[in-house]
Structure 1
Amino acid sequence: MHRALEIVELVENICAHLGPADLVSLKTDATRDLALLARTSTIFLNPALDVLWRSQDSLVHLLRCMPHDLLVIPEVGPPRRHVRTIAPPIRLRRPILPTDWERPLFYMCRVKFFSMGNPARISDVLDVFGQCPPAQYVFPNLEKLWWHEPPFKHFSLFFTPRLTSIRLFDVEADFSVVSNHILRCTHLKSVVLCVKRGDYDPAARSSWPFSSIVRCLTHIEDLHVPEIDSTAMEHLAQLPCLKGLHFSYQSALEEPRPFERSVRFPALIQLGVPLVTVATTLLKFFWQTPLEKLVMNGTDRIPMTKMAASEFYSTLAAHCAHASLSEIWNSGQTFLVEPTPEQILTYSVAGDILQPLFSFSNLHKVELRHPVGFDLDNATILDMARSWPHITIIKLVASTTRHMPTRVTLEGLYAFAEHCPQLRDLTLTFDATLVSRTPPSDEPRHNQLCLQCLNVECSLVGDPGPVAEFLFSIFPRLWAIRTAQKNFADGAWKPVSTRFKELRDGEKSRSPTKASCFPTPSVGIILTIRSVVVTI
């Protein structure tokens, strides 16, 4: 055997290369190779077994190491698509003896990542484990624990002082069982606590102890909780390592007390909140925070007024570092019936409201949704394009099937071709009934070579030929045109797509050497329809 294999670190790296990432089941080939290495030589024994046992998604493998006369372990058939298989429970045949633990103890200390997916299947076994454990914990060196289903009565057998990451689902069922364990482990770096989806009972939420738990976390780097109070937010604002913060049911908080203008949330780069209105109050706890990604993915059945939108954008610009923000997503839905003129006046978002966003010059992805759309003009679009030179995705979407009238024309669309060379996906309602010459002089138009998808939403269109020619002259690599209109397949934009395809095919035939530069979809221009559901 080569002398290099006597170096322990080298052997460990070889075995680690065969193994999976955290909590990912080993492939059959990897399992076989690691088992062969472990049996080949004592040099490989411990490094191979460490990788083989490092990540476990059930206790079955450990139970199979116990004497055959101790347990009845029914076989589980292969998983069926779209069918949830209920595994038969594992039963004890006799009491557990101290000698039964000799072989399992050799492997238990090697497990670092464990996922408990079906506690009910091994409930009887865990009852006995708690009465005669070989040690205080089943896996004494456990670092990451995922628990997918209640009950949590056996939680203490797995919650070791070494834990740095936990992920618990449906915890409101008996959360009091696990909260004390979490409070005793102050070195947690990643905590994900998920309550049952759809539970909005105010009485139940009033008893959620998430704020008290959060106030005890001092080394946290990534936190997912349903909601917390203002005191817990103040605690998080001072933590030097917190990078990700996500809420699922957070309600608006009272405005924070005046604080010193030093950096707050100094390491936070990701914030996830359910609603825009909630984001506004949370952002008031920030100051010069280097936030990179802001996501709002809830459903707000109370439409956001232009005043609320103005407060949100101005608060974001006032409390976050302008050089850091790269993504802002509002991917939820805001429900509103077909707007009246009064509602358009109340809910429309004009350029002056969006102006604070233009201070974030490093934005790459922007998705904004407002009930009736955006009251923009060509000057605002030009200002937007100049402010976001690195932008790759822009989606300005209204939540109803009918947008308010727009003042943006094809001339305004040209601003993105001139100032946003990396833009590849654009969603915008504009007026394509008239085609003007842009630029007005004899200078050649800029060719933007990245845009591939254009969603015109509810844009009006005139003569399809000139519109297609204009789009082809500035976006020659465009291959997908989408719209919010239900009858798009037979609507006014279909001739535009057809003519655009003819122009592009003609360009390819004239310049065969350049044809490879164009993305080639399977069937010409892809025409897709975005379904829109309006809830009254």
Structure 2
Amino acid sequence: MHHALQIDEIARCICAQISRPGPSDWCDGLPVQQYPRGSCDLSNLARTCTTLSEPSLDALWSFQGTILHLLRTMPSDLWDITIQVPRGVDVSDANSREENMSLGISPRRIVRASDWGRFAFYARRVRSFKDRHVHSETSVVYDILATKFPNGAVFPRLEIIDWASKDSQLFHHVRLFLSPGITRLHIHSNYAANFTILETLSRELPGLKNVDVSGAAPNSFTSPFVGALHDLETLIVWNLDLKAFEHLSRLPRLRYLWLMSNTPPRLSPRPKDLPCFPALRIFECESIEAAPNLLEQMGRSLVEFRLSSRSWATSPTKQVFQELYAALASSCTHSLLQEIAVDEAWHAQQINHTQIDLHAVSGDDLRQLFCFRNLVHVSLAHRIAVDLDDVVALDMARAWPRIEVLEFPCDMAQCIAPRMTLEGLYAFAEHCPLLRELSLLFDATAAKSKLASEGKQLRVSQDTLTSLDVAYSSIGTKKREWRRVAHFLCLIFPKMSKLEATQPDSSADARAWAMHRAWMQVSNKTF
């Protein structure tokens, strides 16, 4: 064996490369390791190479999504274990299987001191623990663990814990896994009383850097908890009082904040020499009314801004969005902001046709955002489709030369007749060389496109775009019409591998279905 492999740091780097952790299911700001995709390789390596055995086992056991695997290291006659997985669940995927399975665990005999040897051997390797099966069928396991570990720390080297109880009486078992080394915490419960434990957590976990406290956590518990944390880097929280929010605004390393409340506290103006949220890079908000004021305080260093409609009572008017976009333009540094996402999709309220003009955001309203020259990702999912035309599309394409993902999703029930034509689509091919994904509404009928009807020469072939979502865009239903569109798309987007058109619902008229079939034909001809 090469002497370099006997260096522990190199061996662990090799094992880390083998494990290749899967994608996060926490949030964009908080990546959490899933089961290693190279589990079989790590297992084989641990059994066949003495030098690499320890780092291989550490990588293999670093993340656990259930207590089950540790229990199986104990004597085979100790536990009676039953597992049920619903039909349709991919049992070959460890994450999917353990998210959906139902466990039944009970002891067959009294647990002896000699039964814990292998359990402890592997438990010290666990760095991340996510238990979504805390219910009555497994409570006996945690009661037994409590007798063995009266002071907690079942996993002495634990760094990440994700805990959600389905039973209000069992949430307290999270105490078993509290370790001073924990830096990342996610707890969720639908019972407000469970969050009394937050007072304990702020004392026992002094090194917390990444926190997600969601569910029914009341302000009276979350605010003192957050106010006692000084090393926060990321935070997802529902309710905070003004004192806790002021505390957050002074933290030097807070880079990600998601406020789920629809009534966040309002910060008072602060002198320029006392900046708010000096390190904040990503901000997610669920109150469109409070967003302009919040952006004024924290927008200078933002790289990403996202707004969700989950807690909105009514659909905002066009003027409210105009104020939001004006606040973005005036508060955020134009050269820093790279992502803007507004999502009204959570809000299911239908808008009366007589009020469409009051709510419809026009392309001209978006001109306030054209000052952000370094935007990479823009997704504006308004209830009513954004009203773009060819002039706005051209100005937008010129204003955002670095855009990679551009999305204007829409709902058929709230659609407006598109005014943008293939001319506008061509503008994005001409001026956005990095564009990979495009989703917007346009009119692809030949009669309204000079490029298609007059046979203008196409000078541009954009070879980066791979996905185009046309939603409910108009298209000619005759063969020669949709074939002309297919030819046009092949010329300007030669690397496109996916074209999607939203299927109309059962109440749609015959023309809507005919246009959908035409787009399916275009998709078949394009790829």
**Fold conserved (TM > 0.5)?**
yes
TM-score by length of 2: 0.78
Out of 227, 236, 258, the position equivalent to 1:224 is 236
Pair 1:194-2:214 in alignment: yes
Conserved? CA contact 1:336–1:399, under 8 Å: no
Alignment of 1:259-408 (within 5 A): 259-261=270-272, 263-274=275-286, 276-277=288-289, 279-296=291-308, 298=310, 300=312, 302-333=314-345, 334-337=347-350, 339-341=352-354, 343-399=355-411, 401-405=413-417, 407-408=419-420
Which segment drifts farther, 110-119 or 307-316?
110-119
2:514 is aligned to 491
Q: In 1, distance between residues paired with 2:86 and 2:348?
A: 39
Larger deviation: 55-64 or 382-391? 55-64
Q: Tell me: CA distance 1:234–1:317, structure 2 relative to 1, closer, same or farther (3 Å).
A: farther
For the residue of structure 1 that corresponds to 2:211, the secondary structure is strand
2:133 alignment partner in structure 1: 118
SS in 1 for 2:59: helix
Amino acid corresponding to residue 214 of structure 2 in structure 1:
C
| Worse-superposed segment, 150-159 or 487-496 | 487-496
Structure 1 residue matching 2:165: 3-state secondary structure: coil
How far the C-alpha of 1:313 sits from its partner, in A, is 0.5
Structure index of larger Rg: 1
CA distance in 2 between counterparts of 1:412 and 1:5 reads 57
Aligned residue runs from structure 1 range 236-251, under 5 A: 236-247=248-259, 249-251=260-262
- Unaligned residue ranges in structure 2 (runs of 5+): 22-32, 90-96
Distance 1:240 1:459 in 2: 51
Of 184, 204, 208 in structure 2, the residue corresponding to residue 165 of structure 1 is 184
Instruction: Within 5 Å, give how 1:207-218 maps onto structure 2.
Output: 209-218=221-230
Q: How far, CA to CA, are the matches of 1:463 and 1:76 in structure 2?
A: 56
Shift in Å, 1:375: 4.6
- The amino acid of 2:514's aligned partner reads G
Distance 1:222 1:146 in 2: 15
CA contact (8 A) 2:299 2:328 kept: no
Query: Alpha carbon RMSD of aligned pairs, Å?
Result: 3.9
Task: Quote the residue 2:92 is aligned against.
Answer: none
| Counterpart mapping for 1:46-195 below 5 A | 46-66=54-74, 71-74=78-81, 76=83, 80-82=87-89, 85-91=101-107, 93-94=109-110, 96-97=112-113, 100-119=115-134, 120-133=136-149, 136-150=152-166, 151-170=170-189, 172=191, 174-184=193-203, 185-195=205-215
> 1:530 maps to which residue?
none
Question: Secondary structure of 1:284's partner?
Answer: helix
CA–CA distance in 2 between the matches of 1:245 and 1:422?
29
Q: 1:318 to 1:66 in 2, by over 3 A?
A: same
C-alpha displacement of 1:164? 0.7
Give ranges in structure 1 of 5+ residues lacking alignment: 196-203, 502-520, 527-536
* TM-score (normalizing by structure 1): 0.77
Deviation larger for 113-122 or 473-482:
473-482
Q: Secondary structure at the match of 2:153?
A: coil
Of residues 9, 32, 40, the one that matches 1:29 is 40
Hey, what does 2:460 align to over in structure 1? 447
The number of residues matched between the two structures is 489
Distance 1:462 1:74 in 2: 60
Of 433, 448, 473 in structure 2, the residue corresponding to residue 421 of structure 1 is 433
In structure 1, the partner of 2:93 is none
